[in-house]
Structure 1
């Protein structure tokens, strides 16, 4: 790899790091404000914050890195021969580390409130009582549902997201061809709507980096293995927010490619 290509890849990776981190910063920040400061956010407002965070991050990163911001999307583009294999691992590491770093920022910004909440409610990290606090940062599937139901919800949600996302960016779609500046807003609105519809059924991530980065960070700050399992006896449940989006994104991507945009 020559020096120019190396510098260009570093630049793109930093943008992926920062863009993914922005999504996490605003999204997790809103949850921290809700649970630790009793800010009166409802589900609609929380979903809108996540959606706007995605829109802002896409505007920030699209012209430089392509605004993947999601390992599942990076993997799909690689598997569909639209992304060079040498960039896959650097992109994914950047996305996860961005999520990790900006989770750390929120954690330390709210650290005094977090400690006060734990002390007031006699919460010990790594116990079932700490799940409510851990869920500020991480995605934990609804334990009242079956594993299969939660897994399918994650796959179907991300498949739907990917189908619509690809159609927004379809070069054969003349409307969006001449109105590209509106696409990030529509993608953010899509994230908001999916969250509103699915959240009453299950907690979804749509993005492995959004979940994995915070879980790695929490595991280092007192939650240990509990940050990954959420206390669920079925260890496979911790894979749902990671594997589900990858499978769903590829399912949706290939449905779009084969059934909707089959000219390409």
Structure 2
């Protein structure tokens, strides 16, 4: 139970800081409108560092269903724990974006651009092409999960592995690099909970200028990361 709680806390902090910077960038009436893509990539790296550091020594700091599934597929995590971890991660992401909404409530009220409002919750492609969007998310998530295997020392022993607090910085740098290098086409969800949980919150919160939640795209940042995680697990097993 404690592991699930820390997955909720860690994922909540991830989304609070990560989508908080997006809100600071795109909503009207904030003081962070000049941070741009560099600011977003840096902030998501910092958000990962905080989330991992807080939860690593208790839950292993997956914070991401793709990481959980990838570790389980490689035999490094128990499949019996996977459903509970995924539920905790999605719920944590919902809580995190709820706190973003509370923080920026007056700015949300001022913002009439519905696409900007949605961007503070979930991802969207720069060019909508579902097949290629899945490919982009799969490649980005492959880079994340494959990197996590080696950052966490998974190649060193035939035992279950998890991230520790000392792994927070290298994982943060990995996510930052993915943002800079691979994030442009889809906004690099690389995490089904990061997209799905906040998208659910967008659908249910009383936003003044809500617009649509773009559910026609919502499956892409779920399927793409799962495919990428399974690919990473497969390559990891071939090499080890």
TM range (shorter): 0.7 to 0.9
4+ residue runs over 6 A deviation = none
Larger radius of gyration: 1
Given that 1:50 and 1:191 are in contact with CA atoms closer than 8 Å, whether structure 2 keeps it comes out as yes
Given that 2:196 and 2:222 are in contact with CA atoms closer than 8 Å, whether structure 1 keeps it comes out as yes
Which residue of 1 is the match for residue 14 of structure 2?
23
Which residue of 2 is the match for residue 207 of structure 1?
191
Instruction: Find the aligned partners of 2:223 and 2:212 in 1 and give their Cα distance.
Output: 19
Query: Once the 2 structures are TM-superposed, how far is the Cα of residue 181 of structure 1 from its aligned partner?
Result: 6.0
Which residue of 2 is the match for residue 5 of structure 1?
none
Query: Once the 2 structures are TM-superposed, how far is the Cα of residue 183 of structure 1 from its aligned partner?
Result: 2.5
Q: Which runs of 5+ in 2 are unaligned?
A: 158-163
SS in structure 2 of the partner of residue 183 of structure 1: helix
The alignment covers a number of residue pairs equal to 229
Q: Which of the numbers 190, 212, 233 marks the counterpart of 1:226?
A: 212
2:137 pairs with 1:157 = no
Q: Spell out the pairing of 1:117-136 with structure 2 (5 A cutoff).
A: 117-118=111-112, 129-136=113-120
Higher helix share: 1
Given that 2:151 and 2:167 are in contact with CA atoms closer than 8 Å, whether structure 1 keeps it comes out as yes
Q: Which runs of 5+ in 1 are unaligned?
A: 1-9, 119-128, 175-179, 230-234
Instruction: Find the aligned partners of 1:164 and 1:81 in 2 and give their Cα distance.
Output: 16
Q: Which of the numbers 113, 116, 128 marks the counterpart of 2:110?
A: 116
Given that 1:154 and 1:206 are in contact with CA atoms closer than 8 Å, whether structure 2 keeps it comes out as yes
**1:44-70 deviation digits (Å, cap 9, x = unpaired):** 222111111111211111111111111
Per the normalisation by structure 1, the TM-score is 0.80
Per the normalisation by structure 2, the TM-score is 0.88
Instruction: Find the aligned partners of 2:181 and 2:17 in 1 and give their Cα distance.
Output: 20
Query: Once the 2 structures are TM-superposed, how far is the Cα of residue 195 of structure 1 from its aligned partner?
Result: 0.6
Query: Once the 2 structures are TM-superposed, how far is the Cα of residue 257 of structure 1 from its aligned partner?
Result: 1.9
Instruction: Find the aligned partners of 1:200 and 1:210 in 2 and give their Cα distance.
Output: 17
Which residue of 2 is the match for residue 190 of structure 1?
174
